[in-house]
Structure 1
Amino acid sequence: MKKISIILLALIAFSFTACQDKDIDVTPMVLQAINADEISGSLQGDDYTWTWPQLPAEQSMQVNIYEGSTMVSSETVTGNTYTHHHVQTNVPFVYVFKISDGTNLSSGAVKHYMREGATQISGLAMAQIEKSAGYDASVTWNKAVDASTIEFTATNGTKTIQESLPGTTTSYTIEDVVNGENWTVTLRAVNEKGSSMATTGNLKIGKTAVAFLSTYATPEELIAKGDDDEASAWLWMHETYPNAQFLPFAKIKSTETIEPFRVLFWLRDLEGVGEDAVWNMPTDVAAATPFIKKWYMDGGSMLLWSHATVYAGVLGRLNIDDMKSNDHTIGTNEGGVNNDTWKMAVGLNPGGRFSKDASTHPIFKGLAVESNDRTKLIAFKGPGWTEDHNCLFFNLPSLLTGLGNQEEACYTQLTQTYGIYPLGTWDSQIDWVSQLNVWEAQQGNTEFKGTLLCIGNGGCEFSMKNADGTPDKSAHPKNNSYQDNVLRLAKNAIEYLKTR
C-alpha cells in the first residue's frame, strides 16, 4: 500500500509539473519584449525620464516602479517616454517595462536607477514677522542630514534672492517684505554626490489677526454653558494669542466685520444628539454664512475642528449633498472610558501600489512621528474618557475624480486639480485615498481663494473629560497624556493658515 501511494503521488506531481510547463514555459509570448539596452534615462531637475524606440501605433508601454519588492506605481503610457516625477535621493528604484497591446503583455525589461545626492530638507516653515516699520519674513527648516551647502532661493515674482548657505544653516530672514506680496522659497541640500529634491514653501504677506468663532455671546457664557472642548479651545487660544478676538456669529452682519482677520477658528462639538444636529446650522451661523463665504472666496482661511468640518459643505467648498449621502462617520455620543492609545496615520500606501507621506506638512512640525513598515503615525489620545467624535467622509475623492481610490491618478487629480490634500487618516485606512479625516482644501479649481484645514479625527479632542465623565475646562486639560500634541497641532495649523 505504501508503494502504491508513492507511485500515485509521483503521478500527481508529474501531472502538475506538466501543466505548469504547458502554461508558462511552453506557450510562446504573444508580444516581443523590448531589449533593456534600448531603454535609456536621464535626470531633468527632480524628474527622471526614460526613453525607448517608438512603438507601433497599436502598442503602449506599461511601466511598473518598485522600491525593493514593493510596487509603488504602475502606469501605461503611449509614445516613447515615461517620466518619474519628484525622485527622492538615495532610494534604489527598479523599473519594469512591458509592452502592451491592450490585451496582452510582453515579458518585462528591467532597469535600475538611484539618484545620488544629499537628503531632502524637511520641516520648512515660513512666518510673517512684524517690526516697527513693516514686516520681515522668517524662513526656518530642520537641520540637513548630510548637506555641505544649502542652495536657497526666494522670489516674489519680481525680486529674487539666491544664497549658498552652510549645510548647518536652519533659518533665513527675508527683510522688508511688503503687504500683498507672495513669496516662494526653494531649498536644496547639496553634497559631493549631488543635489536633493527641492523643498518649497509659500508665504502671503498681509494681515495677521485671528478670531475664535462661537455661537455663544461671550467667552464667559461659553465657559459656563458650553462644551468642554469648545471652552478649552478658546481658553488655549486666548492664552496663546492674547490679541485673538472672540467673535460670536451673531455679530457678523457684513464682510467688514471679518475683513481684518487672516484666520477664523471654529470648533464645534456636540454630544447626546442625532447626526442631523451636526448638519443643521444654528440661526446665527446661517445668517453669518453669506458674509463668511464672501470673505473665504476673497482669500480668508479657516480652521474647522470636529463637527465644524461639515461647514466646508455649507460654504460650498464641497457639495454638501455628496458629503451627506456618501459613506461618513459622525460621532455624537457622550463617550466613556477607553484605555487605548489612538494614533493617526500621516502616510498613505494604497494597496502598496504607491505611497504618500504627509508627515512633513507644516501642521505636524515638531510632533513625534513613529514609523512602521507601511506608514507613519502620530499619537493624539491616551487612555481615559473618550468621546470618539469623529467627523469623517469616505469616497469623496473617487466621486470627484471618477477614479478608483487606490489609483495614484486619483490622488494626483484630487490634489493638483481639486486642491484637496488628505493629511491624516485612521491607521486602518492607509490603503485608500478615500478618507477625508484630517485634510486641507486649497483653492484648486474653485473660486475660493482661501484655505480650509479640517480636523475631523476623533482622537484630537481639545479636552479629555475626567474619569467620572465631568468636564475639564482649561487651557491645558490634564487627562490626555498626548495633550501637548493636540495643542501643537492647533498652533501649527493656525500658523500655517497665516501663511496662506
Structure 2
Amino acid sequence: MMNRIKIFNRSIFALAMIVMALCFTTCQDDALPGTSLDIDPNKVLLITDFQAPGAEEVSIDEENSVVNIVFPCGTDLTNVTPTFTTSAGNTTTPVSGTAVNMSIPVEYTLVNGNLFRNWTVSASVRCITGFLCDAPTRADITDEDVKAAADWFFANYEGDVAKFVSMEDIKNGTVDLSEFKVLWWYYDRNDAFQMPAISQDPAVLVSVKDWYKAGGNLYLAGYANQYLWDLGRITDSYNRVIGGGGGFENGDTWTVNVVINQEHDRSSHPIYAGIQMDNVDGRKEFPVLGAGWREDHNYVIEKIPEFMVDVIGVPVDPNADFNRNPNAYNEFISRNNAEWLGTWGGINDYFMAGMLELKPNTEFQGTAIFQGIGGIEYNQNEEGTINPGGQNVHQGNINKLTKNTINYLSTKN
C-alpha cells in the first residue's frame, strides 16, 4: 500500500523557487559549492515514486525530503534494493537499484545542475511490541516516569502493534507471549530498590525466560535490568550502581558517551540513528537530561576492570592504565557475548557500562538491550527552583533513542 504525502502544491512551486532566492540559507535546495543558487523553476529536486521489495507502506513527504517505509515483521533491513524515480533532470547518489542497509536511515542526494537536496529514507518493521509492566493495568501505574513512558509509547505506536502486557496476565496464562517480537520493561521507583514480587513469580520467570530463549527480544531500562540476572542471561555478580530516593536538583546537563575508552566508537549503532553527537575530549556524547530535578536512578555495571582482574583473573596490561586494561574489555564482552554501547558522559575508560547489547547465545536466541543510565528519565520532576516546570529540553533524544531501540529489536531474528 502506498500513501504518498503531498505537501507542496505544484501550482505554486515556481513562486516558491523565486522566494527561495531570498531565503536559500533556510530552504532545502542548496547550491553546490562555488556556485550561485539557481532559481530555474523547472529544476525540481523531488523523489516522485519509491518502491522497496516487500514493503507494506511507503510515504513520501516532499516538504521535509523524507521517505518512510514500513516492512512486515521479521524483514531483514540490512540488504534492501529499492527503486525510485525522480523529477526530470536529476541524478542521484546512491542510484536507483542499489542495495543499501536500511537498518539505519539512508541519505539520498539529488542533484540538478548546480542545485542539490538531501533526502532521508527510513525503514521500520510492523511488529507487535509489548509494554511489560508489574502493574495489573496501565491505570494502576503509580511511578511518574513509568507512566510517562507508557503514555509516550501508546501515543506513538498504533494499537495493532502496541500492547500492554501485565505480569499478572502472564502469571494467569491469559497472554500469549509468542505474539510479541519485543517486550519493553522500564521499571522505576523512588524508595529503596527491590524488584516487584510479581516479577519473581516462578510462572512469570519461566514464561519470559522461555520466550527470550526462543528468540523474543528484550528492551530493559532502569531497574528492570536486574531481570537479566534473574533470567540467567548474565551470571557474573558484577559491582553495580543502583540509585534510589527522590532525587535532587542542579544546573548540569547529563549526557551519554558512546565512544568506549575513547577507542570503540558506537555512534553508528542503529539505536543512535539521527541523534546529534557532540565531540568532547575524544568521546562522542549526546545530552539526555537538562538542568533541574533529577532522580539519578541508575542501574549500571561499575568497576569492570577490577572485577575482571580480581575475580575472573584476567592479566593486568603493563602498558595501559588499570581502568583501560584491554584484557578486561575483551573478557567482559566475550563472556557476555555483548556489545558495549554507552557509558555516563565523561567516562574515558572501561570503568563502567551503562548501555549494552546482549546478543544471542546458545541458550538465549533473543537479543536484549540493557539501558541503565539514570539520566534517561521520561518525566523530569516539577520540583526545585532551577526548572520548576520540569521541562527536559533533551527529551527528544530520549524518545528517539527509545524508538530506535524498539525498531532495532523488531528487526532481530
- Superposition deviation, residue 374 in structure 1: 1.5
Distance 1:127 1:498 in 2: 18
Among 266, 289, 295, which residue is 1:387 paired with? 295
- Which one is further off, 446-455 or 423-432? 423-432
Matched residues in 1 for 2:131 and 2:97: separation?
Answer: 31
Measured after TM superposition, the shift of residue 497 of structure 1 is: 0.6
Matched residue pairs, number? 309
Q: What residue number does 1:208 align with?
A: 127
Partner in structure 1 of residue 283 of structure 2: 375
Between 449-458 and 416-425, the greater mean CA deviation after superposition: 416-425
Match of 1:419 in 2: 337
Task: Provide the rounded CA distance (Å) in 1 between the counterparts of 2:185 and 2:176.
Answer: 16
Confirm whether residue 252 of structure 1 aligns to residue 167 of structure 2.
Answer: no
5+ residue gaps, structure 2:
1-51, 59-70, 84-90, 107-122, 317-322
**1:401 and 1:256, CA in 2 relative to 1: closer, same or farther beyond 3 A?**
farther
Which of the residues 80, 94, 100 maps onto 1:169? 94
Equivalent position of 1:178 in the other structure: none
Instruction: Report the CA distance between 1:450 and its aligned residue.
Output: 0.5
* Superposed CA offset, 1:125-161 (max 9, x none): x9985469x849585xxxxxxxxxxxxx949xxxxx7
Is 1:485 the counterpart of 2:369? The answer is: no
Match of 1:441 in 2: 358
How far 1:441 moved relative to its partner? 0.6
**1:158-189, Cα deviation, whole Å (9 max, x unpaired):** xxx799xx8723997989xxxxxxx999x9xx
The question of whether the paired residues in 2 share the 8 Å contact of 1:207 and 1:260 is answered with no
Q: Which residue of 2 aligns with 1:20?
A: none
After superposition, the Cα gap between the structure-2 partners of 1:162 and 1:209, relative to the gap in structure 1 and judged at 3 Å, is: closer
1:318 and 1:417, CA in 2 relative to 1: closer, same or farther beyond 3 A?
closer
Give the secondary structure class of the aligned counterpart of 1:311: helix
What is the percent sequence identity of the aligned residues?
A: 29
Distance 1:128 1:416, change over 3 A: farther
Structure with higher Rg: it is 1
What amino acid does structure 2 have at the position aligned with 1:169?
Answer: P
Task: Choose between structure 1 and 2: higher strand proportion.
Answer: 1
Deviations 1:325-384 (A, max 9, x none): x4221101101222111111110226xxxx100111111111110102311111001011
- Mapped pair 1:361 → 2:269: yes
State the match for 2:9 in structure 1.
none
Hey, what's the Cα distance between the residues in 2 that align with 1:487 and 1:426?
A: 18
When residues 238 and 129 of structure 1 are mapped into structure 2, their CA distance, relative to the original with a 3 A threshold, is: farther
Task: Identify the residue that residue 77 of structure 1 maps to in structure 2.
Answer: none
Deviations 1:393-423 (A, max 9, x none): 1245736683555233443454456321111
Residue 259 of structure 1 aligns to a residue whose secondary structure is: helix
Tell me: CA distance 1:221–1:170, structure 2 relative to 1, closer, same or farther (3 Å). Answer: farther
Report deviation, 1:436: 2.1
* TM-score normalised per structure 1: 0.55
Larger RCO: 1 or 2 (CA < 8 Å, sep 6+): 2
Cα-to-partner distance string for 1:274-319 (whole Å, 9 max, x where unaligned) = x4x2xx4413542311110000001100111111111111111111
Q: Is it true that 1:317 corresponds to 2:233 in the alignment?
A: yes
Contact preservation (8 Å) 2:103, 2:408:
no
Could you tell me whether the CA contact under 8 Å between 1:401 and 1:413 is conserved in 2? no
Deviation at 1:214, TM superposition (A): 1.1
Q: Assess, with a 3 A threshold, how the Cα gap between structure 1 residues 496 and 374 changes in structure 2: closer, same or farther.
A: same
Superposed CA RMSD: 3.8
Matched, 1:267 2:186: yes
Partner amino acid, structure 2, of 1:372: V
Which residues of structure 1 form unaligned runs of 5+?
1-125, 140-152, 156-160, 176-182, 188-202
Q: Residue in 2 aligned with 1:30?
A: none
Shift in CA distance, 413/342, structure 1 to aligned 2, threshold 3 Å: same
State which of 270, 283, 302 in structure 1 corresponds to 2:198: 283
| SS in structure 2 of the partner of residue 366 of structure 1 | coil
Tell me if structure 2 keeps the 8 A contact 1:299–1:448: yes
Match of 1:45 in 2: none
Select 1:329's aligned residue among 236, 241, 248.
241
Instruction: Mark the CA change 1:381 to 1:248 in structure 2 (over 3 Å): closer, same or farther.
Output: same
In the alignment, the residues of structure 1 paired with residue 97 and residue 393 of structure 2 have an alpha-carbon distance, to the nearest angstrom, of: 35
Match of residue 339, structure 1, among 251, 268, 278? 251
Contact 1:127 1:499 in 2 (8 A): no
Residue 295 (structure 1) aligned with residue 220 (structure 2): no
Superposed counterparts of 1:86-105, under 5 Å: none
In 2 relative to 1, CA 168–413 (structure 1 residues): closer, same or farther, beyond 3 Å? farther
Do 2:178 and 2:211's aligned partners in 1 also have CA atoms closer than 8 Å?
yes
Work out whether 1:498 is the aligned partner of 2:413: no
| TM-score when normalising by structure 2 | 0.65
